[in-house]
Structure 1
Amino acid sequence: MASAEEDGIKILSWNINGLKSKFKKQEVFDTFNEYDVVLLQETKIGKPDTGTKKKDDDDWKIIKKLSDEEYALEKLEDLEFNEDETQQETMYMTYFSSNSRGVAILINKPHTLLSAFSEGGDYAWVHVDIGNQKYTFVSVYCCGRDQNLICNVMLKIFYSFLTNAVDALNSRLVIGGDFNTTLDPKLDANKEIKAHSAGRARLTECMTITKLSDIWRKKNDSKRKYTYFHNNETKSRLDYVFMLKKDENYVINCDIHNEIKLSDHSPVSLTLKVNNAYTNPEE
């Protein structure tokens, strides 16, 4: 597990393309253990999709690590938010469908859970305190059905701040996800993908309204690197880590890991400073 005190807090966002099928792969756990927080998309955990499942039916599960071999499973509505209780290694996941969608948030650091929310299999977030710093971690899988998804998520997060008395100004927001569109048609794909134009326009508009920053692009300006490869022909950057523009100074680095080949998507990593010292975002 990464040492946040020495190296900053290390975060990974990854479309895993089916988590259950990879549970037996040691490489998956080796990768998870290198990071303090892991945001997963397309976990495909849940009951078989019969077409009759309600969106909010058992859609949120919490797996707590009690010991090296023992875990506890809870529903969100049974969870008590206690600022004096420290959680250990915990995975917060949607329980939606074994066929598609689904997200999860794995926290490998001792933390205090302040609030949590999930709706369906498209997104989830947790407000936590790690080392006396508040964070909001969000995992999003935008499969194209809802082009307003990111704006809706942001509105609900801000509403949650207000209703749960979370200190929004001091909480660092990190959104990781697969948004199924390119932000820059020239830099984020090796050829034109016309189907992305509508989603791109809406996502860009939502980012402007909510003042979100594409952190990898911020750090890599005009560089080309892709997160999704289709039939060895189409290459595109569909997976992003977003933060509020006001928090860009806390970023140490942001990388795309094409060397990790356990999914059809490459993960994106982010390292943040854990103290109040700023990093010049222009460097």
Structure 2
Amino acid sequence: MHNPSTKSKGVAILLSENIQFHLEAEEKDREGRYLFLKWYIGDSRVTLANLYLPNKGQKASLASLLKALHAFSEGTVIIRGDFNAPLDPRVDTSKGSSTIPDHVLRGIRTLPWRTLHYA
């Protein structure tokens, strides 16, 4: 997806032409922030998600997108994307630190598991 009204280039999911699959459903954001695909490979149902979070408010945006993904997804869920946040600043940044508070980074790291494994 591409949103020409912003600097954002949007998201895409590229698959090899050698993969035999049947696309069952897709959901996409008009702003190009996410793309969800639900498909079958053989008898296995797979949901692919590509997310692009804004530069600010990553945790709230991720929480919202994960709720939408949870409502859409079936089978094995694979999430990829750009969270615009260093999940481990010691490794993911040249300075070894981030201006995003530690409690926000912890929240971002735990959101996918909590959203997809709630009781």
* Common fold by TM > 0.5: yes
Match of 1:157 among 56, 69, 74: 69
Superposition map of 1:208-227 within 5 A: 208-210=113-115
C-alpha separation between the residues in 1 aligned to 2:41 and 2:76? 11
User: Which residue number in structure 2 is paired with residue 115 of structure 1?
Assistant: 25
Pair 179,123 (structure 1): closer, same or farther in 2 beyond 3 Å:
same
2:32 is equivalent to residue 128 of structure 1: no
Check conservation: 2:2, 2:9, Cα contact below 8 A: no
User: Which residue number in structure 1 is paired with residue 4 of structure 2?
Assistant: 97
2:111 is equivalent to residue 206 of structure 1: yes
The alignment partner of 1:175 has SS state of strand
Pair 131,208 (structure 1): closer, same or farther in 2 beyond 3 Å:
closer
Identity of aligned residues (%): 23
Please identify which structure carries the higher helix content. 2
C-alpha separation between the residues in 1 aligned to 2:57 and 2:100? 13
Aligned-residue offset at 1:206: 1.4
C-alpha separation between the residues in 1 aligned to 2:32 and 2:57? 12
User: Which residue number in structure 2 is paired with residue 177 of structure 1?
Assistant: 81
Check conservation: 2:90, 2:97, Cα contact below 8 A: no
* Structure 1 letter corresponding to 2:10: G
Larger radius of gyration: 1
* Structure 2 letter corresponding to 1:202: G
Aligned-residue offset at 1:180: 1.6
Superposed CA RMSD in Å reads 2.4
C-alpha separation between the residues in 2 aligned to 1:116 and 1:181? 26
Mark the runs of 5 or more structure 1 residues left unpaired by the alignment. 1-93, 162-167, 212-243, 245-283
Pair 118,145 (structure 1): closer, same or farther in 2 beyond 3 Å:
farther
Runs of 4+ displaced beyond 6 Å: none
C-alpha separation between the residues in 2 aligned to 1:193 and 1:186? 6
Aligned-residue offset at 1:143: 2.7
Aligned-residue offset at 1:208: 4.4
Please identify which structure carries the higher strand content. 1
Aligned-residue offset at 1:107: 2.4
C-alpha separation between the residues in 2 aligned to 1:153 and 1:113? 21
User: Which residue number in structure 1 is paired with residue 95 of structure 2?
Assistant: 191
Aligned-residue offset at 1:103: 0.5
The alignment partner of 2:96 has SS state of coil
User: Which residue number in structure 2 is paired with residue 140 of structure 1?
Assistant: 51
The alignment partner of 1:139 has SS state of strand
Q: Deviations over 1:23-46 (max 9, x none)?
A: xxxxxxxxxxxxxxxxxxxxxxxx
Aligned-residue offset at 1:182: 1.6
